[in-house]
């Protein structure tokens, strides 16, 4: 059986990967996640997914490394992690009543030979028209200050949405499982 490492400390990504009959470990990567000047959200998500996998591969020879990252955009503007309540509130106000597009990149790296396969999932989230009181109630309940877009879809953040369009609901939470299964299959794994 192939040794697999999820290049993440996210409990949500771990829970998603637990859906598959895989034995894996988790290891956080140490990379600079800042976007490059004028970098498109899709490019950012893929670049960071690859960088996370490469970072973890340095300490995990003879493994398959799974890296994943996400970027979001609204009105052509990249949405970063807000960092604090004030910025989260401003971000959520801007997103109210609008479509936010999430780009979730996934990378599978074979540290034996350096082979890399990648995939990208695109998900559109349509926000309800929300007033400041509703947004503050949400922020009182969850503190999504380390989340692109200022919400946690795996938690109470789902209450902010009117609808979601995408191929894989797992991608919005941070790991596009359908794409990952395809990558694992390309590496020779049989699923199911």
Give the per-residue pLDDT at 101: 97
| Phi, psi (degrees; rounded to nearest 5) at 164 | -130, 135
Q: What is the separation of C-alpha 13 from the centre of its chain, rounded to a whole number of angstroms?
A: 8
Give the per-residue pLDDT at 79: 92
Residues 6+ apart with CB under 8 A from 174: 8, 10, 12, 13, 16, 68, 70, 104
Tell which phi-psi region holds residue 76, choosing left (phi > 0), alpha (psi between -120 and 50) or beta: left
> Which DSSP string do the residues of 117-149 spell out, in sequence order?
EEEEEEEEEEE----HHHHHHHHHH---TTSTT
Active-site residue, selected from the candidate residues 18, 32, 38, 69? 69
Give the per-residue pLDDT at 192: 82
Strand, coil or helix: what is 155?
coil
If the chain, 192 residues long, is cut into consecutive pieces of 10 residues, what is the mean pLDDT of each piece? 91 95 94 94 97 97 97 93 95 97 98 97 98 97 92 93 96 95 96 84
Give the per-residue pLDDT at 24: 96
Give the per-residue pLDDT at 1: 61
Domains of the chain plus CATH, in order, are 4-186 (3.90.950.10)
Give catalytic status of residue 32 as yes or no. no
CB 75 within 8 A of CB 98: yes
Give the per-residue pLDDT at 62: 95
């Amino acid at each position: 059986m192939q040794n697999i490492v999820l290049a993440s400390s996210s409990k949500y990504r771990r829970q998603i990967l637990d859906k598959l009959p895989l034995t894996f470990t988790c290891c956080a990567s140490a990379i600079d996640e800042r976007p490059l000047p004028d970098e498109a959200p899709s490019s950012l998500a893929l670049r960071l997914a690859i960088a996370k996998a490469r970072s973890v591969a340095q300490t995990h020879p003879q493994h398959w490394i799974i890296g994943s990252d996400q970027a979001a955009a609204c009105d052509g503007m990249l949405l970063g992690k807000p960092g604090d309540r004030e910025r989260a509130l401003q971000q959520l106000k801007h997103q109210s009543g609008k479509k936010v597009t999430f780009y979730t990149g996934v990378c599978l790296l074979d540290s034996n030979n350096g082979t890399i396969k990648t995939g990208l999932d695109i998900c559109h989230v349509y926000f309800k028209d929300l007033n400041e009181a509703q947004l503050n109630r949400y922020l009182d309940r969850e503190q999504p200050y380390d989340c692109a877009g200022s919400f946690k879809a795996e938690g109470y953040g789902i209450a902010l949405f009117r609808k979601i369009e995408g191929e894989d609901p797992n991608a919005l939470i941070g790991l596009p499982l359908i794409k990952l299964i395809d990558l694992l299959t390309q590496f020779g794994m049989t699923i199911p």
